[in-house]
Chain A
Amino acid sequence: MPELIPTAFFFFAASLVLLAVPQGKARGALLLAVPLAAAWQVWSLPLGTFAQVEFFGFSLDLMRVDKLSRVFGLIFCLAAFLGNLYAWHVRDTVQQVAALLYAGSAIGAVFAGDLITLFFYWEGTAIASVFLIWARGTEGAYATGMRYLIIQIGSGVILLAGAILYHTETGSFAFEQMVLGSPATWLIFLSFGIKCAFPLLHNWLQDSYPAATVTGTVILSAFTTKLAVYALARGFAGTEILIYIGAVMTLFPIFFAEIENDLRRVLAYSLNNQLGFMVVGIGVGTEMALNGTASHAFAHILYKALLFMSVGAVLFRTGTSKASELGGLYRTMPLTTIFCLVGAASISAFPLFSGFVTKSLILDETAAEHYPVIWAVLVFASAGVLSHSGIKIPFFTFFAHDSGMRPKEAPTHMLLAMGLTAFLCVFIGVYPDPLYALLPYPVEFHPYTMSHVVGQLQLLCFALLAFGVLMRTGIHPPEIRAINLDTDWTYRRMAPSVIAIMAVGVSRIWTRWTRFGSSTITRMISGLYHSTGPEGRFAQTWPTGAMVLWIAILLGVTLILNFASHG
Chain B
Amino acid sequence: MATELTPHAAMSLTEQLPVLQVLVPFMAAPLIVFLGSRGLAWILAFGTSAAAFVIAALLLGQVLDGSVISYHIGGWAPPLGIEYRIDAANAFVLLLVSGISAIVLPYARESVASEIPRRHHTLFYACYMLCLTGLLGVVATGDAFNVFVFLEISSLSTYVLIAQGSHRDKRALTAAYDYLIMGTIGATFFVIGLGMLYMATGTLNMADLADRIADQGANRTVVAAFGFIIVGMGLKAALYPLHLWLPNAYTYAPSVVTSFLAATATKVAIYVLLRFMFSVFQPTFLFEGNTLEFLIIPLAVLAMFAASVIAIFQTDMKRLLAYSSIAQIGYMLLGIGMLSQTGLTAAIVHLFNHGITKAALFMGVGALVFRAGGSFFDRIQGMGKTMPWTSAAIVLGGLSLIGVPGTAGFVSKWYLVQGALEKGWWPVAVLIVASSLLAVIYVWHIVETLYLKTPAKDIAVGEVPNSMLIPIWIMALACIYFGLATDITLGAAQAAAKGLLAGSSGMLH
A:512-567 near B, CB below 8 Å: 528-529, 532-534, 536, 538-539, 541-542, 544, 546-548, 550-551, 554-555, 557-559, 561-566
Per-residue interface assignment for chain B, residues 200 to 231, with 1 indicating a CB less than 8 Å from any chain A CB and 0 otherwise: 00000000000000000010100110111011
Complex: A522 Cα to B271 Cα, angstroms: 41
Instruction: With both chains docked as a complex, state the minimum distance between the C-beta of B4 and any C-beta of chain A, in angstroms.
Output: 28
- Using A562-B223, A562-B291 as known contacts, say yes or no to A528 and B182 having CB atoms under 8 A apart: no
In the bound assembly, the distance between CA atoms of A157 and B405 in angstroms comes to 11
Instruction: Please tell me if the beta carbons of A164 and B234 are within 8 angstroms of each other in the complex.
Output: no
* Chain B contacts for A536, CB-based, 8 A: 310, 313
Which among B189, B220, B310 is the interface contact of A539 at CB below 8 angstroms?
B310
Known A157-B437, A555-B189: A566·B313 in contact at CB below 8 Å: no
Taking a contact as CB atoms under 8 Å apart, the answer to whether A558 and B231 are in contact is yes
**Residues of B with C-beta under 8 A to A157:** 433, 436-437
Contact with A along B414-455 (1 / 0, CB 8 A): 100110011000100110010011001000000000000000
Stretch at the interface among B85-93, B150-158, B238-246, B495-503: B238-246
Q: Does B250 contact A (CB under 8 A)?
A: no
Residues of B within 8 A of A529 (CB): 313
Residues A557 and B295 in contact, CB atoms below 8 Å apart? yes
Q: Taking the complex as formed, is B314 at the interface, i.e. its CB lies under 8 A from any CB of chain A? A: yes
Contact yes or no, B433 A161, CB < 8 A? yes
Q: Which of A536, A542, A547, A550 has the most CB of B within 10 A?
A: A547
Mark each residue of chain B from 463 to 490: 1 if its CB lies under 8 Å from any CB of chain A, else 0. Answer: 0000000000000000000000010000
The B226-265 residues at the A interface (CB cut-off 8 A) are: 226-228, 230-231, 234-235, 241-242, 244-245, 247-248
A506 to B31 CA separation, bound complex (whole angstroms) = 80
Contact indicator per residue, chain A 52-94, by CB within 8 Å of chain B (1) or not (0): 0000100000000000000000000000000000000000000
Let me know if A561 and B182 touch, CB within 8 A: no
Are A551 and B310 touching (Cβ within 8 A)? Answer: no
Q: Are B231 and A554 neighbours in the complex by a CB distance under 8 Å?
A: yes
Query: Could you tell me which residues of chain B, from 241 to 297, have a CB within 8 Å of some CB in chain A?
Result: 241-242, 244-245, 247-248, 288-291, 294-295
The answer to whether B288 and A534 have CB atoms under 8 Å apart is: no
Does A12 lie at the interface of the complex (its beta carbon under 8 Å from any beta carbon of B)? no
The answer to whether residues A538 and B306 also contact, given A157-B433, A544-B181, A561-B291 and a CB cut-off of 8 A, is yes
Tell me if B421 and A564 are in contact (CB < 8 A). no
Q: Does B149 contact A (CB under 8 A)?
A: no
A172 within 8 A of B: no
Q: How far is the CB of A350 from chain B (nearest CB, A)?
A: 46
Given contacts A529-B313, A547-B182, contact A566 B288 (CB under 8 A): yes
Q: Does B290 lie within 8 Å of A564, measured CB to CB?
A: yes
State which of A168, A183, A551 has its C-beta within 8 Å of the C-beta of B231.
A551
B178 touching A547, Cβ below 8 Å: yes
Knowing A532-B309, A542-B244, say if A168 contacts B418 (CB, 8 Å): yes
Is B26 among interface residues, defined by CB-CB distance under 8 A?
no
Evaluate contact between A544 and B178: CB separation under 8 angstroms: yes
Contact B227 A555 (CB under 8 A): yes
Chain B, interface size category, equals 35 or more
Bound form: Cα–Cα A183–B223 in Å: 41
Interface of B is mostly: helix
The answer to whether B242 touches A566, judged by C-beta atoms less than 8 angstroms apart, is: no
Asked whether, in the complex, the Cβ of A566 is within 8 Å of the Cβ of B223, the reply is yes
Which of A541, A544, A565 interacts with B290 by CB under 8 Å?
A: A565
Name which residue of chain B comes closest to A161, CB basis: B433
Are the C-beta atoms of A534 and B315 separated by less than 8 Å?
A: yes
Contact B313 A164 (CB under 8 A): no
Q: Is A186's CB within 8 Å of the partner chain B?
A: no
B405 touches A119 (CB 8 A): yes
Q: A532-B310, A548-B181 are contacts. A164–B486 as well, Cβ < 8 Å?
A: no
Q: In whole Å, how far is A46's beta carbon from the nearest beta carbon of chain B? A: 31
C-alpha gap A532/B315 in the complex (Å): 12
- Given A539-B313, A559-B224, A562-B226, decide whether A164 and B181 contact each other with a Cβ distance below 8 A: no
Q: Taking the nearest CB of chain B, how far is it from the CB of A180, in angstroms?
A: 18
A465 contacts B by Cβ under 8 Å: no
Residues of A within 8 Å of B42, CB to CB, are none
Is B43 close to A, CB under 8 A? Answer: no
Instruction: Tell me whether A566 and B306 are in contact in the complex, defined as CB-CB below 8 angstroms, given that A164-B421, A539-B313, A558-B231 are known contacts.
Output: no
B46: Cβ under 8 A from any A Cβ: no
| Contact among B417, B426, B486 for A56, CB-based, below 8 A | B486
In the complex, A153 has a CB within 8 A of chain B: yes
Chain A nearest Cβ from B502, distance in angstroms: 22
B185 contacts the other chain (CB 8 A): yes
A165 at the binding interface (Cβ < 8 Å): yes
Q: Are B426 and A558 in contact (CB under 8 A)?
A: no
A528 to B309: give the CA distance in the assembly, Å: 8
Contact: A153 with B224, CB < 8 Å? no
Chain B residues near A558 (CB-CB < 8 A): 226-227, 230-231, 291, 295
Chain B residues within an 8 Å CB radius of A538: 306, 310
Contact with B along A161-173 (1 / 0, CB 8 A): 1001100100000
Let me know if B125 is at the binding interface, CB within 8 A: no
How distant is A251 from chain B, measured CB to nearest CB, in Å?
Answer: 33
- A566–B227 CB distance below 8 A: no
Query: CB < 8 Å: which of A154, A164, A528, A551 contacts B418?
Result: A164
Query: A536 vs B315: C-alpha distance in the bound complex, in angstroms?
Result: 13
A551 touches B306 (CB 8 A): no
Which residues on A sit within 8 Å (CB–CB) of B306?
532, 538
A316 interfacial by beta-carbon distance below 8 Å: no
List B307-340 residues whose CB lies under 8 Å from chain A.
309-310, 312-316, 319, 323
- Once the chains bind, are A561 and B294 in contact (CB under 8 Å)? yes
Which A residues lie within 8 Å of B245 (CB)?
547
Contact A561 B242 (CB under 8 A): no
Q: Which of A160, A548, A563 contacts B220 (CB 8 A)?
A: A563
State which of A160, A539, A548, A566 has its C-beta within 8 Å of the C-beta of B218.
A566
Assess the B295–A532 pair: CB atoms within 8 A: no
Once the chains are docked, how many angstroms separate the CA of A538 from the CA of B247?
Answer: 11
Would you call A120 an interface residue if the criterion is a C-beta within 8 Å of the partner chain's C-beta atoms? yes
Q: In the assembled complex, how far is the CB of residue A305 from the closest CB belonging to chain B, in whole angstroms? A: 31
Interface string of A122-164 (1 = CB under 8 A from B): 0000000000000000000000000000000110010011001
Residue contact B323 to A551, C-beta cutoff 8 Å: no
Q: Which of B227, B323, B433 has the most CB of A within 10 A?
A: B227
B314 touches A534 (CB 8 A): yes
* Inter-subunit contact A562/B313 (CB<8 Å): no
Residues of A within 8 A of B226 (CB): 558, 562
Nearest neighbor of B411 in chain A, beta-carbon distance: A56
The answer to whether B295 touches A561, judged by C-beta atoms less than 8 angstroms apart, is: yes
Contact assessment for A561 and B314 in the assembled complex, using a CB-CB cutoff below 8 Å: no
Report the bound CA distance from A557 to B405 in whole Å.
Answer: 38
For B178, give the chain A residue with the smallest CB separation.
Answer: A544
A183 and B313 contact, CB distance less than 8 A: no
The distance in angstroms between the C-alpha atoms of A547 and B226, with both chains bound, is: 21
B234: chain A residues within 8 A (beta carbon): 554
Q: Check B182–A548 contact: CB distance below 8 A.
A: yes
Chain A positions near chain B (C-beta within 8 angstroms): 56, 119-120, 153-154, 157, 160-161, 164-165, 168, 183, 528-529, 532-534, 536, 538-539, 541-542, 544, 546-548, 550-551, 554-555, 557-559, 561-566
Return 28 A-B CB contacts under 8 Å, by A number. A120-B405, A161-B417, A161-B430, A164-B421, A168-B418, A183-B426, A532-B313, A534-B314, A534-B319, A538-B306, A538-B310, A539-B323, A541-B174, A541-B248, A544-B177, A547-B181, A547-B244, A548-B181, A548-B185, A550-B241, A550-B244, A551-B186, A555-B227, A561-B294, A562-B290, A562-B291, A564-B290, A565-B290
B interface, CB within 8 angstroms of A: 174, 177-178, 181-182, 185-186, 189, 218, 220, 223-224, 226-228, 230-231, 234-235, 241-242, 244-245, 247-248, 288-291, 294-295, 306, 309-310, 312-316, 319, 323, 405, 414, 417-418, 421-422, 426, 429-430, 433, 436-437, 440, 486
